[in-house]
Chain A
């Protein structure tokens, strides 16, 4: 199975059933909770000072629940109505918005003491339409510039996300920098295949003498809590024997032929037992 963000846009992927499944899955809850705690740690808020936080892509409120527990006042936004419905049922304290973060938001400058976002940014990396405002760089730019102005100076924003490649990390960090953020990437358990987690840690302000420093990632083999999300495993084209599987196999050819027939194309060859077989290499 490929990554969820490659299958459909978030508001469609997280439909009613998927939203319920996602929220009920205890392993998922555990992973989300761990990452939320870690994000809060990276946010490095002054202790004993009640803060007003923004939860970007709050979903069904798995992270919001922890913000409630920790005594933060928060507002959350998500693009999937079904997820928000589940969040309503869970009776969280925070305010919820149905919002596409790629369209930017209109919060007044300096509104929030910090922002967290768990497993969201990767959803911004796919274009849904060919309209210019739908291209990932445009959406990221809009998102980061409006977020930068919505945050107080000094403050931080921490994003946990699942990049597929270094190019994606490069794209995201460069756009964030252009929007005025400082900071960088923190990788927890970089040597572990299973527990590796990527956090984007962005700073607003904090220049001059007291330069904010990017926190260190967690080291060591792996924590027993940070577990593996199998569905995020990279899709490989290889089968079990290690050989690369052909993309255009018999099933694919039959599917294509069927499609052509439905479209009324003429001269589509008949299906037979020879369909999709290789010719012998003899002259």
Chain B
């Protein structure tokens, strides 16, 4: 169950891969929608931590285009609801995430991404 909220905070952690290692690109994804309780305050708190461009991009990759490409100045309820849907209700079940820099592939199976590294990749 990779939600976009965690995807938006996740960078590659392979040894020496420190620049351009975010965001990881989704591949061959299967998604599942699961309703979650809407909490406007949480979403508002989270905003400062999000990378908007990466979020819009990731949303596009999983087939959701409801977000505006530029981060709006004002957040109204409607937009917060959309954000909530994108961040917390879209679950990626199968597929893979690839680092844009070192091309390390993190496979996702059964909703759990495999973040284990090989010995030579450990920093």
The 8 Å CB contact of B115, one of A105, A111, A112, A131, is A105
Q: Which residues of A contact B46 (CB under 8 A)?
A: 52
Beta-carbon contact of A98 and B39 below 8 Å: no
Q: Is the CB of A106 within 8 A of B10?
A: yes
Q: Are the CB atoms of B113 and A98 closer together than 8 Å?
A: yes
From 27 to 54 in chain B, residues with beta carbon under 8 angstroms from any chain A beta carbon are 36, 39, 41-42, 45-46, 49, 51
Q: Which of A24-32, A89-97, A240-248 contacts B (4 or more CB under 8 A)?
A: A89-97
With contacts A73-B42, A104-B13, A106-B12 known, is A88 near B116, CB below 8 A?
no
A222 at the interface (CB under 8 A from B): no
Interface string of B1-13 (1 = CB under 8 A from A): 1110110011111
Contacting residues, chain A, for B110 (C-beta < 8 A): 85, 88
Which of B5, B11, B42 meets A50, CB within 8 Å?
A: B42
Residues of B near A107 (CB, < 8 A) are 9-11
Does B112 sit within 8 A of A, measured CB to CB?
A: yes
Q: Does any Cβ of A come within 8 Å of B96's Cβ?
A: no
Residues of B within 8 A of A108 (CB): 9-11, 22, 49, 51
Within the complex, what minimum Cβ distance (angstroms) separates A96 from chain B?
5
Q: Is B68 in the interface zone, CB < 8 Å from A? A: no
Interface residue ranges, B against A (CB under 8 Å): 1-3, 5-6, 9-13, 21-22, 36, 39, 41-42, 45-46, 49, 51, 88, 110-117, 119, 122-123
